Amino acid sequence: MPYLFTSESVSEGHPDKVADQISDALIDHFLAFDKESKVACETLVTTGQVVLAGEVKSNTYLDVQKIARDTINKIGYTKGAYMFDGNSCGVFSAIHEQSEDINRGVDRAKKEEQGAGDQGMMFGYATRETENYMPLALDLAHRILIELATLRRENKEITYLRPDSKSQVTIEYSDDNIPQRIDAIVVSTQHDDFGSDDDMLSKIRKDIVEILIPRVVAKLPEHLQALFNSDIKYHINPTGKFVIGGPHGDTGLTGRKIIVDTYGGKGAHGGGAFSGKDPSKVDRSAAYATRHIAKNLVAAGVCDEVLVQVSYAIGVVEPMGIFIDTYGTCPFNMTDGEIAQKVSEIFDMRPSAIEERLKLRQPMYSETAAYGHMGRKPETISKTFSQPNGEDVTLDVELFTWEKLDYVDKVKQAFDL
């Protein structure tokens, strides 16, 4: 019998994502001037206030207030009417030195003996149902909000948009797990107060359905465009009004959107957030590494869908183990346990090896903090960072290295494909 599956996304202006972006902007600035920085920073945002807290071990000094304000302004919170804007909000910092009890288990005389920055399990997932090997419902939910943010910044076709928004997509699947159609789309977008409640809701609904959705569909491959039809149930600003939003409407905290950040409820999640953590924290680095493994396994033809788990003990170099679940989609006679054994031979999962393989000591994290850490396009960009003493550094930074299909040939060779 057909079934429905739903995933959601939130925009860069969502309070939790504002917090994530500030935390990752701090990470990038620390790494830009001291690539061996150890950082775990949390951010809280609310009406007119930003609170920064966490632990840092670094040889550089930063103006964390300026970094927070610049990030907020870049997102689009630049008006007093929002009750939260980068130029006037208060920024309180309670960042302090990293505990030596934690650092002693991570830093070692030899880099390759670096221990895991924490205990826990991390998951990576990939599926063949989209070109970027991501679950379709989440991919569409992200695309809707990316296009909505583009419309907001253009300020031409739709002129009343504010930064905070959410989306949700429900897809009907067949018994053999093939997407059949889009059943429902939810879009809630913050907006200016420009008329009566009924007039605003009517205008917003019309613009979302007739302007936003066609722009999203036009950028999709034909087989996905076919999933859109006139029978889709649209829920646009279901409460009828969304003027009060952002950190004024809801307090935001770093790390509260981990399912949006990963696979939209498909696969699994170990529970650890990513943003605000340097790559010695395996919550982040090993989650990227397992995604890299999963994507290369599917692309190489080992399976059509796969979940990869790795687990660590704090301060211990080697992982506790690697688990593989191919959901019965492996086309040849090999068990998931046998696949896991080969994976452990192909991919070195020691923390230092992950950092080196995926080049994780670059200031590459601000771009991950909205619209998902997985399924993004690997590319190299130029970024400039500034210190309070006026020193600037411009770096070429490789983004989303865990999305590369650079191990496909190695996987094929190992599996005789």
Co-location of 239 and 336 in the same domain = no
Tens-digit pLDDT profile for residues 128-169: 999 999 999 999 999 999 999 999 999 999 999 999 999 999
CA angle 159/162/164 to nearest 5° reads: 145
Co-location of 235 and 283 in the same domain = no
Of 197, 221, 245, the residue at which a domain comes to its end is 245
pLDDT, position 99: 59
The count of domains in the chain is 3
3-state secondary structure of 125: strand
Residue 44: inside a domain, yes or no? Answer: yes
Tens-digit pLDDT profile for residues 35-82: 999 999 999 999 999 999 999 999 999 999 999 999 999 999 999 999
Co-location of 75 and 141 in the same domain = no
Q: How far apart are CA 1 and CA 233, in angstroms?
A: 21
Co-location of 61 and 124 in the same domain = no
Residue 261: inside a domain, yes or no? Answer: no
Co-location of 227 and 293 in the same domain = no
Q: How far apart are CA 210 and CA 212, in angstroms?
A: 6
We report the CATH number of the domain holding residue 169 as 3.30.300.10
Q: How far apart are CA 37 and CA 26, in angstroms?
A: 11
pLDDT, position 109: 56
Phi-psi region of 388 (alpha: psi -120 to 50; beta: other; left: phi over 0): alpha
Residue 311: inside a domain, yes or no? Answer: yes
pLDDT, position 8: 98
pTM of the prediction?
Answer: 0.95
pLDDT, position 118: 82
Co-location of 317 and 390 in the same domain = yes
Co-location of 307 and 289 in the same domain = yes
Structural domain boundaries, residue 366: 120-128+279-415
Tokens of 60: 């550089």
Co-location of 225 and 295 in the same domain = no
Co-location of 292 and 404 in the same domain = yes
Q: Which residues make up each annotated binding site for ATP?
A: 14, 164-166, 241-242, 250, 256-257, 273, 277
Co-location of 164 and 219 in the same domain = yes
Residue 257: inside a domain, yes or no? Answer: no
Q: Name the DSSP class of 116.
A: B
Above 70 in pLDDT, residue 102? no
Co-location of 291 and 389 in the same domain = yes
Q: Which residues make up each annotated binding site for L-methionine?
A: 55, 98, 250, 281
pLDDT, position 106: 61
Residue 197: inside a domain, yes or no? Answer: yes
Q: Which residues make up each annotated binding site?
A: 14, 16, 42, 55, 98, 164-166, 241-242, 250, 256-257, 273, 277, 281
Co-location of 305 and 345 in the same domain = yes
pLDDT, position 107: 60
pLDDT, position 390: 85
CA 303 to chain CA centroid, nearest Å: 24
Contact 50, 89 (CB under 8 A): yes
With residue 283 as reference, give the H or E element that holds it. helix 282-300
pLDDT, position 116: 83
Q: How far apart are CA 396 and CA 359, in angstroms?
A: 12
Find tokens 């964390």 and name the residue. 64
Q: Average of pLDDT values for 358-366?
A: 98
Tens-digit pLDDT profile for residues 220-268: 999 999 999 999 999 999 988 999 999 999 999 999 999 999 999 999 9
pLDDT, position 103: 53
If pLDDT is split at 50, 70 and 90, which confidence band does 117 have? confident
Q: Which residues make up each annotated binding site for Mg(2+)?
A: 16
Residue 266: inside a domain, yes or no? Answer: no
pLDDT, position 1: 85
The residues, ordered by sequence, that sit 6+ positions from 81 with a Cβ below 8 Å of its Cβ are: none
Tens-digit pLDDT profile for residues 369-417: 999 999 999 999 999 999 988 889 999 999 999 999 999 999 999 999 9
Instruction: Name the phi and psi angles at 21, rounded to 5.
Output: -70, -35
3-state secondary structure of 196: coil
Residue 252: inside a domain, yes or no? Answer: no
Residue 259: inside a domain, yes or no? Answer: no
Contact 119, 272 (CB under 8 A): no
